Amino acid sequence: MRPFRPLRLFRYLALVPVLGILAVGPGTAAAAPTGTAAVGFQQITGFGSNPGHLTMYTYTPAGLPPNAPLVVAMHGCTQSANDYYTHSGWQKYADLWGFEVVFPQTDPSNNSLSCFSWFDSTKDTRDKGEAASVMQMVNQAAAQHGSDSHRIYVTGLSAGGGMTADLLADYPDVFAGGAVASGLPAQCATTSAAASGCQNSNQNLSPAQWGDRVRASHPGHTGPWPRVAIWQGTSDTTVNPVNGTELRDQWTNVWGVGQTASSTRSLPGGTTLSTYNDSTGQPAVELYSISGMAHGLAVSPGSGTDQCGTTGTYYINSICSSYYTALFWGLDGSTPGGGTGSLPAPAGVKAGQTTDTSASLTWNAVEGAASYTVYRDGAATGSATGTSFTDTGLSAGGSYVYTVAAVDSQGAAGARSTGITVTTTGSKPQCYTATNYSQVAAGRAHQSGGYTYADGSNQNMGLYNVFISHTLAQTGAGYYVISDAGCPA
């Protein structure tokens, strides 16, 4: 048997060409000494003992308010902090919604292709190595800008995604939420020799066994737990799509909820969002499965609020993952389910008449409300002075989630209502063509006894492998039928 070579693993996780990614911003960012509060993208020195030998960069928007959220964003192998800053789109939402972003950076002195060491228990566990260095960065940035200690989040791509999952497990008392993009479950591997197995194959662990790896990372912690978003392309050959399912199993188990989605809906870019709610009905875990997407971070260049980032090698034009992640965390101005005002959430939100392009809503009045803000898929879409609203300009057959918040006389929005899903008329099923293996990994099918079965209809699709392909049409939430003859009109 040929010996395992860590360098080969790093090549599998490499996300961009080595050349041309180390220049910082339009020019070169100067190192800011500890204690300064420079605006823009800057290197920060002297942030701690730095046992993981990392470099710290931050992006600070102009006019950052006190008590703002803080986001840690971690690059993939061969990338730099500047590369992730340039392509990921986090700068746009930091400017729009007012929060600080920390960009940790590793380099070849740690490993040959600048990968974060998500597979090394001497570097990715609580208070050790790179994990400890990231926490020193968080402490430095939070102290420097007066960040809200209850709104600290972490996200990362590929190897950075694997380290993100580890940090969420190591520091559930610090991070309110996380997002793992094309990454791996927390503590999937504890040595470099075991890493390739995690990348390439199913580890055949139960949800409880995956959850135990999180609970063992910080023994004695019983909650609250971070809210976790998982982004995974169904055609990823670098980090096998089964990792998305394993991450889902791990964090739903930690939250004490089942692996059956509370809701499923379609988003741009061929994305299927499966949401797993906590006991209060709020999303705890979200799995974004992007049909046909290879290894990388999903971006969507453009000027729209829901568009972000720039394309490049392993930055794939599909959907703005940073936008939907930011909404999931409540970075648009409220924590999940909450707002800046004191008014309670409107009750009795109901769908009224729906057409191909519009949806009507009604709700119960809230005492003290001067108006109401209506949110579509997390973003404000309009306002009303009464208790009804009609949203227009929608797509036929589209599925949208609406919430409503009461606004007081000072303009502060209170808690948002529980979301309701409204589907416009003229529905046309969305179809997905992929191998049986990829259909299972994307959550559209399941396997039993070596065979694959469509979710919902339970139609037999044949052997569970990468050689047999089918087209599945989604005709309802979590319901798929074989449509090899073509997508129904």
Q: What domains sit in the chain, N to C, each tagged with a CATH number? A: 6-329 (3.40.50.1820), 350-423 (2.60.40.10), 430-482 (no CATH)
Q: Mean pLDDT, the chain, as a whole number?
A: 87
Q: Name every residue whose Cβ is closer than 8 Å to that of residue 222 and which is 6 or more positions away in sequence.
A: none
Q: Is the pTM of this model over 0.85?
A: no
What CA–CA distance (Å, rounded) separates 75 from 82? 9
Specify whether the CB–CB gap between 59 and 94 falls below 8 A: yes
pLDDT tens digit sequence for 204-259: 999 999 999 999 999 989 889 999 999 999 999 999 999 999 999 999 999 999 99
Specify whether the CB–CB gap between 455 and 444 falls below 8 A: yes
Mean pLDDT of 296-308: 94
The SS3 call for residue 422 is strand
Element (H, E) at 274: strand 271-277
Residue-level pLDDT at 6:
33
pLDDT tens digit sequence for 403-432: 898 988 877 777 778 778 888 887 667 889
Residue-level pLDDT at 395:
80
Residue-level pLDDT at 430:
82
Asked if the model's pLDDT at residue 338 lies above 50, the reply is no
pLDDT tens digit sequence for 115-169: 999 999 999 999 999 999 999 999 999 999 999 999 999 999 999 999 999 999 9
Specify whether the CB–CB gap between 190 and 119 falls below 8 A: yes
Residue-level pLDDT at 345:
81
Asked if the model's pLDDT at residue 371 lies above 90, the reply is yes
Asked if the model's pLDDT at residue 444 lies above 60, the reply is yes
pLDDT tens digit sequence for 33-51: 444 457 899 999 999 999 9
Asked if the model's pLDDT at residue 290 lies above 70, the reply is yes
Residue-level pLDDT at 180:
98
From the candidates 147, 158, 291, 321, which is the catalytic residue?
A: 158
Weakest-pLDDT range from 7-21, 233-247, 440-454? 7-21
Asked if the model's pLDDT at residue 339 lies above 70, the reply is no
Residue-level pLDDT at 11:
33
Q: Which among 278, 274, 297 has a CA at the least distance from the CA of 286?
A: 274
**Annotation says 158 is catalytic:** yes
Specify whether the CB–CB gap between 339 and 412 falls below 8 A: yes
Length of the chain: 489
What is the DSSP annotation of 351-415?
EEEE-SS-EEEE----TT-SEEEEEETTEEEEEESSSEEEE-SPPTT-EEEEEEEEE-TTS-EEE
430 has which bridge partners? 474
Q: Compute the C-alpha angle 243/2/5, nearest 5°.
A: 55
Q: At what angle do helices 321-329 and 90-97 cross, to 10 degrees?
A: 40
Asked if the model's pLDDT at residue 17 lies above 60, the reply is no
Specify whether the CB–CB gap between 348 and 330 falls below 8 A: no
Q: Name every residue whose Cβ is closer than 8 Å to that of residue 177 and which is 6 or more positions away in sequence.
A: 153, 226, 227, 228, 229, 328, 329
